[in-house]
Amino acid sequence: MSAASKTNMSNETAELQVQGKSIELPVVVGSEGEVGIDISRLRAETRAVTIDNGFVNTASCFSGVTFLNGEEGVLKYRGYAIEELAEKSNFIEVAYLLIYGELPTITQLARFESSIKAGQETPEQVKQQIKLFPKDAHPMGVLSACLSSLSAYYPELLDQDLSADKKDRIIGQLVAQVRNLSAYFYRASQGKDFVNSDANLDYCTDFLNMMFEGQGKIDPEVAKALNVLLILHADHEQNCSASTVRLVGSSKANLYASISAGVGALWGPLHGGANQAVIEMLQEIDKDGGDYKKFLDKAKDKNDSFRLMGFGHRVYKNFDPRARIIKKACDTVLTKLDIKDPLLDIAKGLEEEALKDPYFVDRKLYPNVDFYSGIIYKALNIPTNMFTVMFALGRMPGWIAQWKEMIESPSMKIGRPRQIYTGETDLEYQAISDRK
């Protein structure tokens, strides 16, 4: 069922007065009861546009992929609660759910896994390309470049209107290649040989094996924790990177280019770089002697510039539902690996103190998914600059799902925001000799 078919036109309208002209705008109600005002006729009838800096109050599309209620702390994929999926499902099954709209049958899941395995062979030229990057290059730049470069090797997948078979092929390939490219560059940055994918391993175990050459001996509990982490990162409604994938894809750019653009958007420290900022904060506290209570006091001091990273969330006004789930995975990893690391001790101390400190409790500044994911990656010995790549690994199915939903919608339009011009007017050209 399409997203639009579960959207109801309300009997209500919103009346807007613009420079003496009145217009009635339809009120739309989503399947979870969220309300929107349809302003698609506004400019045509009044010559006015709305202003919404950062699009924080603007719905750019109808979507049936992910529902998020920040006030209640709710996150659902295709109608399924994130808590249930994290407990009962696995990353590849959730990827299918997001991309194709329903939980797969045994046959459908086997076909999807086959398409991933069929797309797991990375072109040799791309492997050489990875080796040519400086070892200290940022992995997100490498990932974006390599995903985009895949388009050079599969011209048959660049059609503006892909057949269903070709869509399935490129989808499976991208789910496989984001894993391969991430692991290959990590190995290259460490001066180590590549470890190729092993079709006999599940997705998360395979990835860890490609990273650390575990020869299939990756601890199942650690692989399970990574599996949960990727599920929690798989989609998050119309965030910056998902919106970027949609915007680029709306021009009918190929999927490689659209996903590469999403990686670039995720790279930013205000989006995917948050878990990296958590570890950098812990390092700062450690260098200062490790007194995390001192830094909690600094965070409460409005005259102090210090910010407590990994606490609170822009969208969730209550507890981040993903944080409750990932905390269990984090505890499992730390117990299983029995790692002695002062940064992890500081993190545990911050968590314990903040959860009982009235200042943070009253303001609902709870540890979020970035806080715990950063700790897990640190425990797994994943370098800090790889954290955002791990985010991209999990987010690939969501990006694909958002792109697929958009291009298959009969109402798709190229994204083209409006603006209010505030520059100079009616200037006359002057010869360069007359300019001061």
- 50-91 per-position pLDDT tens digit: 999 999 899 999 999 999 998 888 999 999 999 999 999 999
DSSP of 325-380, one letter per residue?
HHHHHHHHHHHHHT---HHHHHHHHHHHHHHH-HHHHHTT--B-HHHHHHHHHHHT
**Are 266 and 153 contained in the same domain?**
yes
- pLDDT tens, residue by residue, 383-417: 989 999 999 999 999 999 999 999 999 999 999 99
Long-range contacts of 247-255 (CB under 8 A, 24+ apart): 247/415, 249/403, 249/406, 249/407, 250/406, 250/412, 250/413, 250/414, 250/415, 251/414, 251/415, 252/160, 252/407, 254/151, 254/157, 254/158, 255/157, 255/170, 255/174, 255/400, 255/403
- pLDDT tens, residue by residue, 252-284: 999 999 999 999 999 998 888 888 888 889 999
- pLDDT tens, residue by residue, 94-143: 999 999 999 999 999 999 999 999 999 999 999 999 999 999 999 999 99
- Is 313 among the catalytic positions? yes
- Tell me whether residue 60 is exposed, middle or buried, using C-beta atoms within 10 angstroms of its C-beta: 0 to 12, 13 to 18, 19 or more: middle
Q: Average pLDDT of the chain?
A: 91
Q: Which of 206, 235, 313, 320 is catalytic?
A: 313
Can you tell me whether residue 18 is helix, strand or coil? strand
Determine the pLDDT at residue 117.
96
Residue with tokens 């995903």: 147
User: Does 170 reside within a domain?
Assistant: yes
**Are 87 and 149 contained in the same domain?**
yes
248: domain CATH number is 1.10.580.10
Please give the residue range of the domain that contains residue 10: 4-59
Q: Is the pLDDT of residue 3 over 80?
A: no
- Is 236 among the catalytic positions? no
**Cα 241 from Cα 38, distance rounded (Å):** 24
Contacts of 183 (CB under 8 A, 6+ apart): 194, 195, 207, 210, 211
- pLDDT tens, residue by residue, 298-318: 999 999 999 888 888 777 777
CA max distance for the chain = 76
Radius of gyration of the chain (CA): 24
Determine the pLDDT at residue 336.
85
**Are 250 and 304 contained in the same domain?**
no
Q: Which of 198, 370, 426, 434 is catalytic?
A: 370
* Number of domains into which the chain is organized: 3
Residue with tokens 């797994």: 380
**Are 123 and 242 contained in the same domain?**
yes
37: domain CATH number is 2.20.28
**Are 206 and 239 contained in the same domain?**
yes
**Are 131 and 214 contained in the same domain?**
yes
**Are 324 and 195 contained in the same domain?**
no
Over residues 341-358, mean pLDDT: 87
User: 215 falls in which pLDDT band (50, 70, 90)?
Assistant: low
Q: Is the pLDDT of residue 340 over 80?
A: no
Contacts of 17 (CB under 8 A, 6+ apart): none
Q: Is the pLDDT of residue 425 over 90?
A: yes
Last residue of a domain, one of 270, 302, 330: 270
**Are 51 and 145 contained in the same domain?**
no
- Does the pTM surpass 0.75? The reply is yes
Contacts of 46 (CB under 8 A, 6+ apart): 16, 18, 19, 21, 23
**Are 279 and 302 contained in the same domain?**
yes
User: Does 28 reside within a domain?
Assistant: yes
Instruction: Give the residue, 10 or 190, on which the prediction is more confident.
Output: 190
**Are 148 and 229 contained in the same domain?**
yes
